[in-house]
């Protein structure tokens, strides 16, 4: 059996850097939809047998008509193929009195392939037992995991969960709350073959055959250099393979480097420094050139020169020593790289001599 797994779609969130496409639909919303249309149910359709979404399909309980329409189209795609899909509830799916995911679960009678799980339960297909652990209190999750040990089948056992694990990476920091890795290790030792989780958006290995699937696309510039997509697990070969999605990625570059990139399918933030920040027209032309080279969206960041550090004057300091201190405290990174730390003093003294030769000793 080949299982395609992803998580944390967050349909309905106000993702940054979105704009209206030619069809009037949010470009970021279509980016998520096209991961399924072009990749999962397109390019890689024949590479998997069952689809799993490990929580947080939605971002909030009240969804606008545009988002509901896109999700309805997605469910239509799933229902159009003879392949089951397991979708469990994450913390965002259950964040209100009436769960958004529960509303879709109520449609199950009219659906043939989508299975929505808002509570702990199991799902069996062929020789695989899926244990579904949606978001809930950590104490209840621990109880559910203990229940799994008593239910293990003689076939392949797979846990699909949505919860936090201590020590994993979470938005650039380390997760300090949740289950500990030893608890998941106990499950592996007692016969669980795979533990696949949603909640933390960065794909990451936790233990052997235990990992966060991650979100299928980069959310913003905070996830630059992180590969996002989906995984296909082959239960017979006991291997998993990562597939990068077609969604745009984020790129942050200084304006001087824009000619060295093609910007294919990227959301670009270009940083302007120095004198060019006083020339809006020139900055605009660079942004337009980046768009013409393939960027799907371009934003700018202006980096002002750093404030000069004040120096406490002392009559005991010679002009040469003061110049040395001034240069050391205020030299830019570019200047240090160009001149070198050891040559900063001679560079400053040379500047002083040139100033004196022009009759300016200020």
Q: Which residues pair with 100 in a beta bridge?
A: none
Does the residue 123 lie in any domain? yes
Whether the pLDDT of residue 317 is over 80: the answer is no
Asked, for residue 285, whether it belongs to a domain, the answer is yes
Top pLDDT among 161 and 275 is at 161
pLDDT at 14: 79
Indicate whether 89 and 228 sit together in one domain: yes
Look at residue 309 and tell me if it is in a domain.
no
**Mean predicted lDDT score pLDDT of the chain:** 85
With a cut of 80, say whether residue 307 has pLDDT above it.
Answer: no
Rounded to two decimals, the pTM is 0.79
Same domain, 261 and 342: no
240 within a domain of the structure (yes/no):
yes
Whether residue 57 is found in the same domain as residue 165: yes
In this structure, the answer to whether residues 170 and 186 fall within a common structural domain is yes
Same domain? For 148 and 275 the reply is no
Residues of the chain with pLDDT > 90, as a percent, come to 52
Q: What is the C-alpha radius of gyration for the chain, rounded to an integer number of angstroms?
A: 27
Instruction: Say if residue 183 is in the same domain as residue 261.
Output: no
Q: Is residue 180 pLDDT above 60, yes or no?
A: yes
pLDDT, residue 167, reads 93
What is the pLDDT averaged over residues 299-304? 86
pLDDT digits (tens, 9 = 90+) for 189-209: 999 999 999 999 999 999 999
User: How far, in whole angstroms, is CA 336 from its chain's centroid?
Assistant: 34
Q: What is the pLDDT of residue 138?
A: 92
Q: Please report whether residue 173 resides in a domain.
A: yes
The pLDDT value given to residue 283 = 92
In a domain, 190, yes or no: yes
Number of domains in the chain: 3
Residues 116 and 190 in one domain: yes
Q: In whole angstroms, what is the distance from residue 89 CA to residue 115 CA? A: 11
Instruction: Check whether residue 59 and residue 151 sit in a common domain.
Output: yes
Structure-block tokens of residue 268: 């670009």
Alpha helices per DSSP H over the chain: 27-34, 65-79, 100-105, 138-151, 181-189, 280-292, 319-330, 333-339, 344-357
- Across the chain, the runs of DSSP E, i.e. the strands, are 2-6, 50-53, 85-88, 114-117, 121-125, 128-133, 156-162, 169-170, 173-174, 194-198, 204-207, 210-212, 229-234, 239-244, 249-254, 266-273, 297-303
User: Quick one: 125 exposed, middle or buried, by C-beta within 10 A (0-12, 13-18, 19+)?
Assistant: middle
Q: Are residues 181 and 33 in the same domain?
A: yes
Q: How many CB atoms lie within 10 A of CB 49?
A: 18
Q: Residue 27 maps to which CATH number?
A: 3.60.21.10
Sole residue written with tokens 């980046």: 290
67: domain range? 2-244
Q: Exposed e or buried b for every residue in 133-166, given b needs 16+ CB within 10 A?
A: bbbbeeeebeebbeebeeeeeeebbbbbbbbbbe
Indicate the pairing of strand 194-198 with strand 156-162: parallel
Residue range 152-162: average pLDDT?
A: 94
What is the mean predicted confidence (pLDDT) over 164-183?
A: 91
Work out the average pLDDT over 286-309: 83
pLDDT tens-digit readout, 54-96 = 999 988 877 788 888 888 889 889 988 989 999 999 999 876 6
Looking at the fold, whether 145 and 253 belong to one and the same domain comes out as no
Confidence class for position 185, pLDDT limits 50, 70, 90: very high
Q: Is residue 278 part of a domain?
A: yes
Q: List, as own/partner pairs, every contact residues 164-167 make where C-beta atoms lie below 8 angstroms and the sequence separation is at least 24, other chains included.
A: 164/138, 164/199, 164/200, 165/197, 165/200, 165/206, 165/212
pLDDT at position 102 is 74
Q: Which residue, 196, 229, 244, sits at the end of a domain?
A: 244
Per-residue pLDDT, averaged over 127-141, amounts to 94
**pLDDT band at 355; cut points 50, 70, 90:** low
Phi and psi (nearest 5°) for 145? -65, -35
Q: What is the pLDDT of residue 270?
A: 94
- Neighbouring CB atoms inside 10 A of 359's CB total 6
Q: Check whether residue 221 and residue 101 sit in a common domain.
A: yes
Considering 226, 244, 262, which residue would you say is the last residue of a domain?
244
pLDDT at position 343 is: 66
In a shared domain, residues 338 and 194 = no
Residue 362 pLDDT > 70, yes or no? no
Average pLDDT over residues 326-343: 65
Query: In this model, does residue 277 exceed pLDDT 80?
Result: yes
Is 314 among the domain residues? no
> Would you tell me the crossing angle of helices 138-151 and 181-189 to the nearest 10 degrees?
10
| CB half-sphere exposure, 29, CA atoms < 13 A | 25
**101, 93 contact by CB (below 8 A):** yes
């Amino acid at each position: 059996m080949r299982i395609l797994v992803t998580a944390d779609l967050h349909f309905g969130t106000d993702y940054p850097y979105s704009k209206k496409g030619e069809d009037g639909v949010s470009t970021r919303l279509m980016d998520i939809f096209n991961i399924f249309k072009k990749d999962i149910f397109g390019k890689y359709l024949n590479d998997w047998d069952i689809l799993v979404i490990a929580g947080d399909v939605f971002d909030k309980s009240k969804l606008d008509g545009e988002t509901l329409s896109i999700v309805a189209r997605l469910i239509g795609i799933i229902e159009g193929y003879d392949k089951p899909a397991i979708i469990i509830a994450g913390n965002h799916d259950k964040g209100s009195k009436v769960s958004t995911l529960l509303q879709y679960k109520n449609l199950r009678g009219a659906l043939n392939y989508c299975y929505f799980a808002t509570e702990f339960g199991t799902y069996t297909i062929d020789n695989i037992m899926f244990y579904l652990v949606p978001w809930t209190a950590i104490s209840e999750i621990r109880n559910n995991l203990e229940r799994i040990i008593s239910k293990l089948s003689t076939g392949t056992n797979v846990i699909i969960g949505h919860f936090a694990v201590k020590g994993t990476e979470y938005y650039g920091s380390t997760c300090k709350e949740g289950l500990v890795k030893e608890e998941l290790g106990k499950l592996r030792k007692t016969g669980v073959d795979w533990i696949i989780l949603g909640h933390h958006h960065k794909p990451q290995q936790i233990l052997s055959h235990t990992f966060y699937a991650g979100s299928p696309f980069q959310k913003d510039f905070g996830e630059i250099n992180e590969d996002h997509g989906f995984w296909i697990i082959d239960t017979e070969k006991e291997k998993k393979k990562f597939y990068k999605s077609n969604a745009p990625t984020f790129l942050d570059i200084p304006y001087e480097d824009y000619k060295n990139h093609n910007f294919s399918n990227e959301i670009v933030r270009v940083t302007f420094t120095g004198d060019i920040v006083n020339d809006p027209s020139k900055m605009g032309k660079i942004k337009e050139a980046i768009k013409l080279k393939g960027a799907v969206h371009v934003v700018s960041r202006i980096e002002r020169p750093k404030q000069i550090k004040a120096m406490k004057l002392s009559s005991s300091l010679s002009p040469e020593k003061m110049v040395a201190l001034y240069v050391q405290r205020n030299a830019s990174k570019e200047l240090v790289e160009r001149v070198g730390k050891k040559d900063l003093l001679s560079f400053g003294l040379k500047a002083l001599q040139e100033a004196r030769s022009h009759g300016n000793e200020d």
